[in-house]
Structure 1
Amino acid sequence: MSRDATDNLHAHPKHHHDARGFVRAVEHASEERGLRLTPLRKEVLELIAAAHKPVKAYDLLDQLREKHGNAAPPTVYRALDFLLENGFIHKLESINAFVSCHHPAEAHQVPFLICDTCSSAQEVCDERVAELIEAQARALGFRPQAQTLEVHGTCKHCHKA
């Protein structure tokens, strides 16, 4: 990904980037890495990118069945596995749902703020959080391999309502 494209992804502190732009960024990252973004993987990615909140695998399956009729759970899960493994999406474990990654060209660990009222999820792009957790783990002799931090509460829009 070019420096300008990467800067554009970082330039949106609230991460309201467009779904098409995100998919193009993933296509570009896939080409650069020699990955095969099959039509189905791309379609699942597009569905996640277009969603305004985290989306569950079976909701994706229902959307695919509307178009293709014969989509099966293993097909969706294989596409999700590919997208997760390559850092194009994140899985929010506590709600078993998926969101697009706001920095698909970078490997990174990020915490999420999840609203329990509207189910929105905000990616917190501050490397200091992940670095602090890793430093604390290492100070305790623990070797972290992955980290997922999900903070539940109420977003500012729901809090005002």
Structure 2
Amino acid sequence: MSKAHHHAHDHEACAHGHPPTDALTFAEARCAERRLKLTPIRREVLEHLAGSPAPVGAYDLIERMERAKGRRPAPITVYRALEFLLEAGLAHRIESRNAYVACAHRHEHSDLVLFMICDACGCVSEAPAAKVQADLDLIAAAANFKPTTKVVEIFGRCAHCA
């Protein structure tokens, strides 16, 4: 079991910076506005991500979905749902954890997001990083480098664990 499950305080304040229902409301609105289909499996994956205070790996998602519904989804089904959520800007991949979090912030998929990951409880919060993105773009251009992925993860202590 991860450290997040052993921590006693309420994670809601640091969970992902928003309550789980915000992620679902945002997802419905974004899908409607962009004519994307939020299928039942995509919604279910998003609900599990939004309900977790810490990033969730794909196989942990499969286990949670099996416990919740009594059926085990195929890994490819979950990975396809995750891919859709990432491309639609409804979830993020935490690279260092090889895990995912829901997103309810109105930013574009291409926008750089800074992730703050608590070493003690594992919760993740996100913040826009336009200035960091501009600096990274300048640094990369000066080196004649074309990044394909830009991820900024900062590790430390959340407000509850500090």
TM-score, structure 2 normalization: 0.81
The offset of 1:110, in angstroms, is 0.8
The offset of 1:157, in angstroms, is 2.6
Q: Which residue of 1 aligns with 2:42?
A: 41
List, as ranges, runs of 4+ consecutive aligned residues in structure 1 with deviation greater than 4 Å.
Answer: none
Larger relative CO (CA 8 A, sep 6+): 1 or 2?
Answer: 2
Unaligned runs of 5+ in 1: 1-13
Q: How many residues end up aligned between the 2 structures?
A: 148
Q: Which residue of 1 aligns with 2:138?
A: 135
Unaligned runs of 5+ in 2: 1-14
Q: Which residue of 2 aligns with 1:6?
A: none
Using a 3 Å threshold, how does the CA distance of structure 1 residues 104 and 55 change in structure 2: closer, same or farther?
Answer: farther
Using a 3 Å threshold, how does the CA distance of structure 1 residues 15 and 77 change in structure 2: closer, same or farther?
Answer: closer
Q: Is the 8 A contact 2:16 2:123 kept in 1?
A: no
**Selected match of 2:152 from 135, 149, 153:** 149
Q: Which residue of 1 aligns with 2:59?
A: 58
SS where residue 84 of structure 1 aligns? Answer: helix
Alignment root-mean-square deviation, CA:
2.2
Residues 84-136 of structure 1: CA distance to partner in whole angstroms, max 9, x if unpaired?
A: 12211000011111111232553311121212221111212231111111121
Alpha-carbon distance in 2 for matches of 1:17, 1:69:
29
Alpha-carbon distance in 1 for matches of 2:118, 2:129:
19
TM-score, structure 1 normalization: 0.81
Using a 3 Å threshold, how does the CA distance of structure 1 residues 16 and 94 change in structure 2: closer, same or farther?
Answer: closer
The offset of 1:15, in angstroms, is 5.8
